[in-house]
Amino acid sequence: MQRIDYPKREDWSRLLERPTQTVVDIEGTVLSIFQEVKEGGDTIVKKYTEKFDGAKLDSMVVGQKELDQAAEKVSANLKNAIALAKSNIEKFHKAQATTKIEVETMPGVLCWQEKRPIQKVGLYIPGGTAPLFSTILMLAVPAKLAGCEEIILCTPPNEAGEINPAVLYTAHLCGVTQIFKVGGIQAIAGMAFGTETIPQVYKIFGPGNQYVTVAKQLATKYGVAIDMPAGPSELLVVADDMADAAFVASDLLSQAEHGVDSQVILVSTSEKLLDVVSEEIEEQLKVLPRKEIAEKAIANSRLFLVENDETAVDLINAYGPEHYIVCVENEDYYIENTINAGSVFIGNYTPESAGDYASGTNHTLPTNGYAKQYSGVNLNSFMKSMTFQKITKEGIQGIGKAVELMAEAEGLQAHKNAMTLRIKSLTE
């Protein structure tokens, strides 16, 4: 990891850049595949599945037989772990439900707000170097709680055209209605436009590589909503001498092993801690099965030595991390003053991996600085707010004149007439 001591503020934006390509770099490829899928449907999706994943498929649909076989292959211990995680995630997300909000804004004018589920949602689950069945829990559980009618899932197959058993088992357990063996840009295009086999959805959820992230962003041009731009994983740790250096190093490596384009950041006011953590990273790297991936991510990462807590918080807010670990003596200061972060983990005994799997919070979070304006996935992500209003005769008499005056001032005579006719009807 590159170490930077006391960086100047004017250099922060350059030093905090993510190791990702921009939308412009990838847009041409995405739009080309989008157009092909829109026109050619299943045939094109299968073509790109063979090209990118090496799988030649007769059918993209996962059938009941495959689901049954997958369930047999998942160990009882893993099933129990998944059940525990599912229970915690359900508890936390169920608690996020809100009741109907009703207000009489003035006599005879009643307004209220209710939530309605998004009917059709698509979940994207990355395959690649790790089968992220945990992401199914994070997406399908709140989707089911929200009451979504159709929950489809796309995930890339291996060269044999198979899906990891734990992915299939978890999807079935969580109530996914259909599973498709398709990944990458072609999966996003399939869900955005619909094909002969893949249903069109109203909103797409889930993380992915840079191509998937850009594909999701560009899908919004075609009337499909997305959860957020959720690309390569990232973690920022702020730590001082009260932190366990071995723990800090393990947390940094836990994100570095996600992919070569992941990024991890350590911010500290302690030179000693930075030195010890650097040594720990080197030692722990030696025994990691995904050492080569982690090493490449570490090369994109930074260690920052800063003057004080105030500077540290400013740097953290400028970065807007996806995952954020606070392991300092003055933790309250950081918690209260950090405003840009996806999910926060506090203290020596709260590893980011707990949130990735089983604590109950959601791990589908904004990356690449989008924590400055996006929330992570939650129950409301699968719902939409609808407002209602009902006005009585008394209400018309109280609000009518204001509406007439405002409509006339805007030059919208028909708007005014709609109110005027009602007012007159009450005096005739």
Per the residue annotation, which of 93, 172, 258, 323 is the catalytic one?
A: 323
Answer whether 143's CB lies under 8 Å from 382's CB. yes
Q: How would DSSP label each residue in 288-331?
A: -TTHHHHHHHHHT-EEEE-SSHHHHHHHHHHH--SEEEEESTTH
3-state secondary structure of 226: strand
> How big is the chain by its Cα radius of gyration, in Å?
25
Helix axes 165-173, 133-146, angle to 10 degrees: 10
Residue 327 falls in which region: left (phi positive, over 0), alpha (psi -120 to 50) or beta: beta
**Pick from 227, 51, 257: nearest CA to 156:** 51
Using an 8 Å Cβ cutoff, are 265 and 302 in contact? yes
Torsion of CA 418, 421, 424, 428, to 10 degrees: -150
Calculate the dihedral angle through the C-alpha atoms of 217, 221, 224, 226, rounding to the nearest 10 degrees.
20
Nearest to 294 by CA among 246, 248, 245, 261: 261
Which amino acid is located at 142 in the chain?
Answer: P
Which DSSP category does 347 fall into?
S
Identify which of 249, 267, 254, 265 has the alpha carbon closest to the alpha carbon of residue 328.
Answer: 267
Instruction: Verify whether residue 323 is a known catalytic residue.
Output: yes
Cα–Cα distance between 227 and 205 in angstroms, integer? Answer: 5
Q: Which of 258, 322, 352, 363 is catalytic?
A: 322
Q: 320, 370 in Cβ contact below 8 A?
A: yes
CB 366 within 8 A of CB 229: yes
Q: Nearest 5°: phi and psi at 21?
A: -80, 160
Closest CA to 345 of 357, 335, 358: 335
Distance of alpha carbon 72 from alpha carbon 118, whole angstroms: 33
What amino acid is encoded at 422 in this protein?
A: R
Which residues are marked as active site? 322-323
